[in-house]
Amino acid sequence: MYIILDDRPIVTESYAASFKREGFCMVGVDPNEFNGWLAATSQGDIEAIDAFLLGECSEKETLPRRIRQKSGAPILCFNEGQSLMETLNLLSAGADDVLRKPIHPREIVARVSAINRRLRDASDKIVLDDLTVYFDGREPEIDGAPLQLPRRERRILEYLAQNRGRRVTKSQIFNAVYGLFDECVDENVIESHVCKLRKKLKHHLGFDPIESQRFLGYMFGPSQKPQELRQETSFEGFLLFDATRHKRMIACRILQLGATQARITLTKDMLLPVEPFILFENCNGQLFQCEIGWRNGNEVGLRLLGLVERDLYQELMSNAADRPVHRDATVDCALA
């Protein structure tokens, strides 16, 4: 969330609209009421502010010092004239940057990101396994491919990543995304956004990087990726089971394969067996006794219980009808 102070309501409204189009929240505060607002705002809400933008106001040179008493967020000032002395005075007063108008909101966001890198010795991105989250308005990426997210979900992901390893409350996320004064939106909408975001991240990453605890809030990272699972691959496998004494084989695509776990997607939407004895074959011809741990749509998690003896394997294969051929039997999918 960005806070702008300017004596002209038309200016604050214009900037708020332009920031909203770029997916960022901006709130305009009357400079004459700023001292009371700053004193009444809780520290948790202050920490949700990305930057303060100072436009035309009578106390522009004294505001940075007041802000610094409660917030370490970047302070950027707009200088509509060409006065060198005014620029020097603003920098001496505590402003982090002085900008000449007009300036695009994305440039402001990029400058804020650059200031944060210098102040916090931080990067302009956070990398967690295959996920990369940027703080300059770019889409997050998974294994180098952009992850398309609605702007609210993207902003929540960025805010959680910026506070990686620190628990943030629902109210803090709401203020960062919607602003302190948005009375038209209920705060509980954050739960819906986070729920959708977590499902998408789990679908693409294979694990959920957001940890939640009731009444305490949310925390991003460290990685909660199961250590037993290998990196994503793209080779074929099969589930085999005995349905009313008739051997049946379901083709699947193996997403992750470990010593005791596997994650697969079924190539067809069908019912799975209920009997406890199920077999799973990888493309190297290894056959495992397994159990179905969970299912989400066509995605299935398996618990591998051990290799099946070769004589039983041969018997099952000789009785299975219409056994499909592996598309790529040369892919290395060794367990260790």
- For the chain, 336 residues long, the average pLDDT of each consecutive 10-residue run is 88 86 81 85 78 87 87 87 82 88 86 76 71 83 88 88 82 78 73 90 83 80 52 60 61 81 80 68 75 83 77 54 40 36
Beta bridge partners of 252: 237, 266
199 dihedral zone (left: phi>0; alpha: psi -120 to 50; beta): alpha
What pLDDT score was predicted for residue 197? 92
Has domain 235-319 been given CATH number 3.30.70?
Answer: no
What pLDDT score was predicted for residue 45? 75
What pLDDT score was predicted for residue 234? 45
Q: How does strand 217-220 pair with strand 235-243?
A: unpaired
What pLDDT score was predicted for residue 151? 85
Return the CATH number of 2-120, one of 3.50.50.60, 3.40.50.300, 3.30.70.1070, 3.40.50.2300.
3.40.50.2300
What pLDDT score was predicted for residue 53? 92
Query: Under 8 Å CB-to-CB from 75, ≥6 apart: which residues?
Result: 51, 52, 54, 63, 64, 67, 68, 94, 95, 96
Rounded to whole angstroms, the Cα distance separating 295 from 252 reads: 13
Class of 125-220 in CATH: mainly alpha
Domain with CATH 2.40.10 in the chain: 235-319
pTM above 0.95, yes or no: no
Domain with CATH 3.40.50.2300 in the chain: 2-120
